[in-house]
Structure 1
């Protein structure tokens, strides 16, 4: 009995001591939960722990938070090993106490085990409060080895890790050695220095000055020939001196008369003397009072159909584009004249064979010959006007080009005869002014400069019956003036037509009565006006749509009247095959001249013989094409 009582007392004392240890453990738990450790909530005997750890990249070390895969698998139930350890030991101890066969040795061992586990837990809690984030992660995992009986061993070792298994001590030792190794590399210091270098402001780059190229400096590789170096034992030929080509301005020809000297042959040749004598005699015997009758359209068409072109009626007459064409009025000889852009005047006698012997080219001007007429009073005279500001008269009887008018300050554009005897002329200037020239008073200021209301004058044409009226072509308008009312200070036109939308190339009166006016405009329209009554307005009769766009390399089209036919006009064409067309004043096409073998270019300037059915067309290369019966 006494032994039983002693055992019971001893058991009761063990229970009291155990209860005391449990209370102390709870107090320690409360103290630790009141410290920096996060709060723990137990639900259904499962504890959820949330660790808040200060984090900074500045003290970060590579591999610091990486955990072994085995530890992650062991802790997949979200319970700390230390907590498992506590529950298991407490349950084991209570089971041993409740067993009646437990002896004092076993009870004392359980007591020591519980005391040691509580101390270890308390020590672990204090260490988690003061350790860094890496130590907290290490000490908080992989504690199952303690549950297997490792807790009974002496876990203090020389490395300073107490309460851990040999495996954990080895693992923590490796971690520590790795951390020391990476610390010895001084990666953080290198990163800081690199960061300072990047953040440091770079000075602005100064613009590099290009070095001046030396004159004698050799750039890329060059051959000995380009470097002007003699090859060994061979001497280079002397390099010729380079001639500097300077664009020479063509000066004006001297004032006064010029000798009629042909450029394509000797002026003392027998052919040229015979040419001058023949044309002087033809001009004296020419019939000046030929009556011009208007034939019917049917007869006119039949005569046009009989006109043809051949190899003998095509010839290059001048250098450069042809700007003007005129026919001599003779009915015995066929003489065509052409004025070129180069300032040349070419004469071609088509009745002379071979045709090369009937061609004569002269140079009376330096600028383009924009207007060319045979004198109505003396057909042995041919008058030519040039853009260089000179107007000359070629006299075949004396073989000389006389100077009729000269103006070096203004460029001339066109002229026409005011009087039937060709004694007075009206001359148009490109700047919009006009000049009245009287050939009967040479040498005593024969010209009279008149200002007009136009900014530019392209063509001038006199009325064939009422010769006091003349028409001028401006930029986009045409004006009709009365020569008897011209004032040097300024003049207002009798009639002004402003219906054209683009620039006008020409405007001409009809040849017999002057009752019609034809204009050629860049808006691809030919307009015919009724000028039978010259009053404040002239009505528009017909508008013919026609392609008048020749471009910059071709001479502009100018529609002209057939001097034999009052109501028909002649104009070149851009159509294929190349052709020259004739229109009636009503807008109907009367006839087209074309030949695919001998007419292969655009004839911009055309003229018809005054009494015969002969047509001459000039192109922009100086070639004349003649259609004749």
Structure 2
């Protein structure tokens, strides 16, 4: 293979092939000799050395590279025929002083740096090796003699390296490469954004519904629907303070019919003279009466637009009158004795937010009290056809209330933020309020003990507390008993209706718990835990287990089971009865039982009331 070499004028030639062709077999070892010399040279470059004391510029440039190659040929011919080139060069390189080694190292590194720059074409290894192999006593220039201890070969080699270094420096390869880099950076094409294909005018698009295009089947465009005016005010603005007149939202021109409806509700102000404290019926007879309760399509009716959040049954024994509060703030009244459902149903907007509590007054059944999240508590007086404002607190959201006295003159109101209010209705004008701070962070329900009315129970996030109303502190009231058996949020907690010796709670951990509250002042041990699915989801009203006023050892609660039903459990945890039928096709989350009759009203999340009763109970 031919190898290029550089002469004094920077030209490159190929003399190695000619040498091989004109020489005998004895000199065929030049190629391995070159490899050996390079290996030894890399070894020698490890010794540090300084060139400050020498002037390499004094090296002469009198001879060209072709003359040096001929000198190298003469040296090889004068050597002993028995010795190879490797035996001649290796001993000489072993005696190179440290200064010469450093000189060779720095010169070689300089050439290496120049050759590594971009755009530089380094000379072939054969040309450099041929120049380094030249050694002749006649070619040694003045100035190199100062390198004492160097052989003529090494002196000649240093001269060649210096000349090569100057040659590459004269090319100014570093400056050229720097200019090339700048040119490349300047000429970089800008990043071209992807051009969107132009949409063809006659292109067939996706098929769309004619209804969405607002085009009639005949191809004629439909008129634009009338735009509704923008509502700037709140979605649920607070109703004005003070009394509200009973004006139904679904009233027609028949005012006489509505007046008769109000007169019916106003006359139902007396309950039966039957003693409510008589002994409870046996569980067997109670179960038999539940079996006689049925539901029909005539006993299902939509009374409110929104989901029903509270239900109350009028205590009358002659008529079945039901009231339902919705999440939209409506109160729906339904008289089941009317032949037509529409004639016996009226809806009133009394609040602007959900109605969580709805009770008929125990002292006057013609009064219907309602409490809403909007911070108002009103009393519907059917004899005067007006909804009076009993209590108002716009800064706090109300959650529940109960009658602190049997006369319904004082009320206990619970707030969502854990506060309590004592409201006295006997104060003329605005009701007197006493704000009390409880030990709970949130209150969902408040219920008064039926016998010892100084005690009341509250249900919050995960705790149920019993307080004594005589020792309430405006700053922070401490409970008498704290029940901590619940693991998730509590929906409700109520005393049993006759003696108050039991408490039922509904928890989101799918359990109904029965506690012994016969000794309220000390403790409330857990008696029974009933497994029941209470996960109603987002769109259904939460379950609230309530006691049957006629049978205080039994609780009533809605169910998620199929077919849809309302279940009745005994305080021991045993199932007593399931109320179901073809007329019940949805979940009744809120239920209320008549205090003296076997009539049950259940409300669902679409505003419908479902009435279970014995046939002929009208």
Partner of 1:466: 452
1:239 deviates by: 8.3
How do 1:594-605 and structure 2 match up within 5 A? 594-595=580-581, 597-605=582-590
TM-score by length of 2: 0.65
Partner of 2:388: 402
**1:612 has 2:612 as partner:** no
Alpha-carbon spacing, 1:267–1:243, altered in 2? closer, same or farther (3 Å): closer
Alpha-carbon spacing, 1:268–1:528, altered in 2? closer, same or farther (3 Å): same
1:497 deviates by: 1.0
- Kept after mapping to 1: 8 A contact 2:399/2:444: yes
TM-score by length of 1: 0.64
**1:265 has 2:248 as partner:** no
1:453 deviates by: 1.1
CA–CA distance in structure 2, aligned partners of residues 222 and 358 of structure 1 = 63
Alpha-carbon spacing, 1:296–1:240, altered in 2? closer, same or farther (3 Å): closer
- Kept after mapping to 2: 8 A contact 1:324/1:338: yes
CA–CA distance in structure 1, aligned partners of residues 285 and 24 of structure 2 = 127
1:206 deviates by: 7.4
1:208 deviates by: 8.6
How do 1:296-307 and structure 2 match up within 5 A? 296-307=282-293
CA–CA distance in structure 2, aligned partners of residues 400 and 614 of structure 1 = 28
Partner of 1:71: none
Alpha-carbon spacing, 1:445–1:416, altered in 2? closer, same or farther (3 Å): closer
1:37 deviates by: 5.2
CA–CA distance in structure 2, aligned partners of residues 210 and 243 of structure 1 = 43
Partner of 1:202: 185
CA–CA distance in structure 2, aligned partners of residues 36 and 509 of structure 1 = 124
1:536 deviates by: 3.2
CA–CA distance in structure 2, aligned partners of residues 590 and 601 of structure 1 = 21
Gap runs ≥5 in structure 2: 1-17, 35-125, 128-175, 204-220
Of 518, 524, 549, which aligns to 1:532? Answer: 518
1:245 deviates by: 3.7
For the pair shown, which has the larger CA radius of gyration, 1 or 2?
1
Alpha-carbon spacing, 1:273–1:302, altered in 2? closer, same or farther (3 Å): same
Q: CA RMSD in A?
A: 3.5
| Residue deviations 1:374-432 (CA, integer Å, cap 9, x gap) | 00000000000011110000011111111000000001000000100101000000111
CA–CA distance in structure 1, aligned partners of residues 278 and 369 of structure 2 = 24
Partner of 1:625: 610
| Residue deviations 1:268-304 (CA, integer Å, cap 9, x gap) | 7111111122222221465485444311111011000
Gap runs ≥5 in structure 1: 1-31, 42-48, 56-131, 134-192, 212-217, 224-235
CA–CA distance in structure 2, aligned partners of residues 259 and 222 of structure 1 = 65
1:442 deviates by: 3.0
Partner of 2:409: 423
- Kept after mapping to 2: 8 A contact 1:369/1:384: yes
Q: Between 240-249 and 281-290, report the one with greater CA deviation.
A: 240-249
CA–CA distance in structure 1, aligned partners of residues 404 and 472 of structure 2 = 13
Partner of 1:575: 561
CA–CA distance in structure 2, aligned partners of residues 386 and 304 of structure 1 = 33
Partner of 1:279: 265
How do 1:92-111 and structure 2 match up within 5 A? none
Q: Between 272-281 and 407-416, report the one with greater CA deviation.
A: 272-281
CA–CA distance in structure 2, aligned partners of residues 267 and 480 of structure 1 = 51
**1:52 has 2:31 as partner:** yes
| Residue deviations 1:340-383 (CA, integer Å, cap 9, x gap) | 00101111111111222111111111111100000000000000
Partner of 2:363: 377
- Kept after mapping to 2: 8 A contact 1:38/1:52: no
What SS does the corresponding residue of 1:361 show, helix, strand or coil?
strand
- Kept after mapping to 2: 8 A contact 1:458/1:472: yes
Partner of 1:93: none
Partner of 2:476: 490
1:200 deviates by: 7.3
Partner of 1:295: 281
What SS does the corresponding residue of 2:551 show, helix, strand or coil?
coil
- Kept after mapping to 2: 8 A contact 1:437/1:448: yes
Alpha-carbon spacing, 1:221–1:390, altered in 2? closer, same or farther (3 Å): farther
